[in-house]
Structure 1
Amino acid sequence: MRRHELTDHEWELLAPLIPRAATGRPRVEDRRVINGMVYKVRAGISWRDLPERYGPWQTVYTRFRRYAIDGVFAQALQQIQAQADAAGDIDWLVQIDSTIVRAHQHAAATGRKGGSTGRTNRNDHALGRSRGGLTTKIHLACDGKGRPLATLLTAGQRHDSICVRPLLERIRVPRLGQGRPRCRPDHVIADKAYSSRGLRAYLRRRGIGHTIPEKQDQHRHRHNRGRRGGRPPHFDRETYRQRNVVERCFNQLKGFRGIATRYDKTATSYEAAVGLASFPLWARSV
């Protein structure tokens, strides 16, 4: 095993989840190709600069695009999450947050005004203008141990509160046996950006406890209304201190240079790269 490659344990977990062709000529060794993908995302290099030990870069890129469009890495994450859930290893004290990722100039030439390609791509390819220029925002929900449960890509200018419901609805951990996938956290921790009556009502309807601090203007508005303002939302400071777990999760994901800076032109490819970077975080603890 070389630097930036999957360990034997990580490969043992991932190998059964890689689709195999039933017919056709023998293809390049799966582990070598997957290691090429990991190396590319980890080092943040272009596909053409892949070391020769991973074979032709066109082969690695073609396989990556195929896996990205088919959602192979997302399915692999769900399977390893199912194994952890069956062992009772998932902490359902879920934390949500977002981070801004600067888009490289190579990711900017997407032809965003044209039609989309792939199943998950949007016309804007999750690229938008914000104070930092052309950016993408990664919305993340992680468990209490700092492992990604769900991610959502949007343009950089999208507000966090708009995306929280779609993000939570992406949490879907299958059962190894019979039964529906688990989609409901026990508790959600978020910062002030997510503070709204609508979100609190949504979480209550789903039976999800939450710890979200109230914004100052919301507190002032409720106070000015007197009795009509209602009771202040419950806030547990001790629980809120655990919110740093999601920040540490972002820190580990951005250890991959291909995640810290977006080089992928399409949202499908970048989302697959985030899924590939998330897999080792789960594999280390399973």
Structure 2
Amino acid sequence: MQRRHELSDIEWEFVRPLLPVSLRARKRLDDRTVLNGIVWKFRALGRPLAFTVTDGTTNDCTQSTAVMDAIRVPRPGPGRPRIRPDHVLGDKGYSSRAIHARLRQRGVGHTIPERTDQIRNRLRRGCRGGRPPVFDKQLHEQRNVVERCFNRLKQRRGIATRYDKTAGSYPAAVALASLLMWARR
């Protein structure tokens, strides 16, 4: 009988090939029991495509290039994975010339609102201020899916409070939580 917050058989079959093989003579603990303990520790739908982990004082927008480069979406059947999203939705924190230029260079559509200081500076410059970037308000309203994904990740206490302090264990916890979010869909 499967208890709440335990891996189902389908999830276990999804995760089992990703586990390392023990090269020592010592017998390992039951991997499924260990993972059930980790899942219970996190307890908690959005589906993250990529993430980076930084210290708490780093601005999110500085990592946009690293996250965009980390995206790999497998294609059904043979072929290379997709590395370029169709469209990016962002909040005002991602409204910079560098991010807009990078997305345009890669041919990625984007809907990111302008900050009020950018609007004010553009209007102050008059005709030399350029055109405002295209902004689709209805499309931007779909950004709540991104926020809900963050909230689902943060429902897992170990991720929200960052119990795992090392540079290796915290990204592993986020990756496992993301993997489980994908598997439960």
Q: TM-score scaled by structure 1?
A: 0.60
In structure 1, the partner of 2:11 is: 10
Question: Within 1, Cα distance between the matches of 2:113 and 2:67?
Answer: 19
Pick from 135, 151, 155 the counterpart of residue 51 of structure 2: 151
In structure 2, the partner of 1:239 is: 139
Q: Which runs of 4+ in 1 moved over 6 A?
A: none
- In the TM superposition, what whole-angstrom CA distance separates every residue of 1:34-68 from its partner, at most 9, and x where no partner exists? 2122223349xxxxxxxxxxxxxxxxxxxxxxxxx
Task: Name the aligned partner's letter for residue 40 of structure 1.
Answer: K
1:84-95 correspondence runs (5 A): none
Residue 164 of structure 2 corresponds to residue 264 of structure 1: yes
In structure 2, the partner of 1:248 is: 148
1:157-176 correspondence runs (5 A): 157-175=57-75
Q: 1:19 to 1:175 in 2, by over 3 A?
A: farther
Residue 34 of structure 2 corresponds to residue 33 of structure 1: yes
* Identity level (%): 60
Greater percentage in helix: 2
Specify the SS of the correspondent of 1:188.
Answer: strand
| Shift, 1:23, TM fit | 6.9
1:82-121 correspondence runs (5 A): none
Question: Within 1, Cα distance between the matches of 2:75 and 2:109?
Answer: 23
Uncovered stretches (5+) of structure 2, i.e. residues with no partner? none
Q: TM-score scaled by structure 2?
A: 0.90
Task: Name the aligned partner's letter for residue 245 of structure 1.
Answer: V
Question: Within 2, Cα distance between the matches of 1:269 and 1:16?
Answer: 20
Question: Within 2, Cα distance between the matches of 1:23 and 1:152?
Answer: 32
Q: Is the 8 A contact 1:253 1:277 kept in 2?
A: yes
Uncovered stretches (5+) of structure 1, i.e. residues with no partner? 44-144
Q: 1:252 to 1:181 in 2, by over 3 A?
A: same
In structure 2, the partner of 1:227 is: 127
The RMSD of aligned alpha carbons is 2.0
| Shift, 1:246, TM fit | 1.0
Task: Name the aligned partner's letter for residue 263 of structure 1.
Answer: Y
Specify the SS of the correspondent of 2:54.
Answer: strand
Aligned residues: 184
Question: Within 2, Cα distance between the matches of 1:23 and 1:158?
Answer: 40
Task: Name the aligned partner's letter for residue 124 of structure 2.
Answer: N
